[in-house]
Amino acid sequence: MASSPTFKLQRGSTGYLVYKWGGIALGAVALALVAFAFNDTGRIEVFDNDYTISLGRITKAVSFVVAILGLQVVAGFTGQLSLGQGFFFGLGAYVSAILVADYNWSYFSTLIVVVPVCFLVGMAFGIPALRIKGLYLALVTLGLAALFPTLVSLSLVADYTNAASGKSVTSKFVAPDWLPLDGIAAVLQGIPLIGDWFGDGDLSTSEASKIWLFILMVILTSICFKVVSNMVTSRPGRALRAIRDNETSAAVSGMNLALYKTLSFGVASALGGVGGMIYVAETGIASPNDFTQLLSILFIVGLVVGGVGTLSGAVIGGLVIVFVPDWASSTQSLPGIPERWLQGPTGNLILGVLLIVLTFVLPGGIVSGIRKLRAKIVVVMPRPPGRFDAGPGKDVSAPITADAESEALAAAETASAGSAEMSKTRTTE
């Protein structure tokens, strides 16, 4: 028997609302602090190795988070292992870069093209997926991902993509005047003890631009998360999970397999494209070697490390696949480890080993580990059936056992007249 959690919150109760919105607010504050703190001074020293967590890298991680979110839809919820997410990431990056650089579009307006193009191309590759099951699909999509650098380097499209040298974009984000970034920075710098983390004085133009980019991309990412979370908790999402769990029985239950599978491919690819757009907005260049099949495999690493089939896993996954290789390549000496083991692609070795180890010890990814820990502190319970009066304002802290439920029912009957009426209607049913 597991130790009972400290807090039990019922869905819809005040405690739950405080927990939920408090969590969201804390997250927003944390993001804002990150934005200002790591703008130029995010230096961490690990055994004499300077490592700078810059805001740019965090924004890059955000782009990977969106791509992994897409992978969650197709691999996590629909159970179609796709090794081709890097293809759509690259496609989105290139389409966006070309429109911004050659046609003077703004980054956000390129989404009007990026999303439908990636969605349709994804759907087109989802159609073979109807007949190709399981590992075969992984094979085809891996081929696709391996092909991408070659495709954009072809002389046929070199006028648009600049072939091997990559498509660079000079357009920058300019923070609007109404946003008091300098003011916020000044306030944060005034905080005792930790004020130093936020630099000195006003922000330079490039710092302000980085923060503005980060804020916009986090908002865009939140929208993507909301869309996906609505999708997976509604009818299509249930259909996708039914397909994942048993394709045949899903079909027998009347799901349109073809529709839902291609749809999930399309959504995943569109999210890959959005991720690519964020990537280009941050790095300012789309070059063929950034979008190899290694990237697609790294996305799978992110998916698994974060947790397959969990939306929050995408966040952890994106951070891991950006920061592990990054940190490993900036670490050149550690006590007790020969230096030759710290040179070269140490990050990929760590990620590969991490992938294998996690499959053994924590198959649900880091998120499942966090959830297990959280369950020891807070448990969110569904509303008990039939208790319509347990709205906001009534904190019900008893677990739903048979005893507790009858107690609660008894309590409800002696409550207000309205609720008594309710329970009466319930008993007459």
Partner 1 sequence: MDFNLLLDRLFLGLSNGSTYALIALALVMIFKATTLINFAQGEFAMIGAFFVFVLSVEQGLPVWIAVFLGMVISALAAAGIERTLIRPFDPSDHLPLVIITLGLFLAINALAAMIWGFNTRAFPALFPSGNALTIGTATLSWYTVGVVFVTFATAGALTLLLNRTKIGLAFRAVSSNLESSELVGVRVGPTLQFGWAIAAAVGTLGASVYVANPILSLEPSVMIRVLIFAVSAAALGGLDSVWGAIAGGIAIGMVQSIVVPYAKIPNELALGAAVVVLMLVLLFKPSGLFGTPQVERV
| 251 touches 224 (CB < 8 A) | no
Stretch that binds partner 1, among 16-24, 146-154, 255-263, 409-417 (CB under 8 A): 146-154
Q: Which is nearer to partner 1, 150 or 427 (CB)?
A: 150
* Interface residue with partner 1, options 9, 65, 69, 142 (CB under 8 A): 142
Helix (H, G, I), strand (E, B) or coil at 189: helix
Query: Of how many residues is the chain composed?
Result: 429
Residue 255 interacting with partner 1 (CB under 8 A): no
Minimum Å gap between C-beta 157 and partner 1 is: 11
What residues between 330 and 349 interact with partner 1 by CB under 8 A?
340-341, 343-349
Amino acid at 390: A
Residue 112 interacting with partner 1 (CB under 8 A): no
Q: Which is nearer to partner 1, 312 or 348 (CB)?
A: 348
| 207 touches 39 (CB < 8 A) | yes
Number of residues lying near partner 1 (CB under 8 A): 48
Looking up tokens 């749809």 gives 263
* Interface residue with partner 1, options 139, 174, 375, 411 (CB under 8 A): 139
Q: Which is nearer to partner 1, 135 or 193 (CB)?
A: 135
Residue 131 interacting with partner 1 (CB under 8 A): yes
**Token digits for 281?**
């907005």
Residue 301 interacting with partner 1 (CB under 8 A): yes
Q: Whose CA is closest to 82, among 149, 131, 117, 133?
A: 133
| 67 touches 276 (CB < 8 A) | yes
Q: Which is nearer to partner 1, 247 or 389 (CB)?
A: 247
Minimum Å gap between C-beta 237 and partner 1 is: 19
Minimum Å gap between C-beta 350 and partner 1 is: 8
Q: Which is nearer to partner 1, 236 or 365 (CB)?
A: 365
Start-end of H helices in 154-234: 158-161, 181-189, 205-233
Minimum Å gap between C-beta 90 and partner 1 is: 15
Q: Whose CA is closest to 101, among 278, 329, 284?
A: 284
Q: How far apart are CA 100 and CA 77, in angstroms?
A: 33
72 to each of 11, 14, 116, 287, how far by Cα in Å?
25, 31, 19, 26
* Interface residue with partner 1, options 4, 6, 248, 414 (CB under 8 A): 248
Minimum Å gap between C-beta 126 and partner 1 is: 13
Q: Which is nearer to partner 1, 349 or 420 (CB)?
A: 349
Residue 136 interacting with partner 1 (CB under 8 A): yes
Residue 89 sits at φ, ψ, to 5 deg, of -60, -50
Q: How far apart are the first and last CA of the chain?
A: 37
Residue 352 interacting with partner 1 (CB under 8 A): yes
Contacts of 52 (CB under 8 A, 6+ apart): 42, 43, 44, 330
Q: Which is nearer to partner 1, 28 or 124 (CB)?
A: 124
Helix (H, G, I), strand (E, B) or coil at 378: strand
Residue 304 interacting with partner 1 (CB under 8 A): yes
| 412 touches 391 (CB < 8 A) | no
Residue 353 interacting with partner 1 (CB under 8 A): yes
Q: Which is nearer to partner 1, 352 or 392 (CB)?
A: 352
Q: How far apart are CA 366 and CA 312, in angstroms?
A: 10
DSSP one-letter string for 221-271: HHHHHHHHHHHHHSHHHHHHHHHHH-HHHHHHTT--HHHHHHHHHHHHHHH
* Interface residue with partner 1, options 22, 23, 180, 363 (CB under 8 A): 363
What residues between 14 and 73 interact with partner 1 by CB under 8 A?
none
Q: How far apart are CA 373 and CA 364, in angstroms?
A: 13
Strands (E), 345-399: 378-381
Q: Whose CA is closest to 114, among 228, 275, 337, 350?
A: 275
Q: Site map for partner 1, 70-109, x if CB under 8 A?
A: ---------x-x-x--------------------------
What residues between 276 and 295 interact with partner 1 by CB under 8 A?
293
Q: Which is nearer to partner 1, 156 or 193 (CB)?
A: 156
In the complex, the residues that contact partner 1 under the rule CB under 8 A are 79, 81, 83, 128, 131-132, 134-136, 138-140, 142-144, 146-147, 150-151, 153-156, 248, 293, 297, 300-301, 304, 308, 340-341, 343-349, 351-356, 359-360, 363
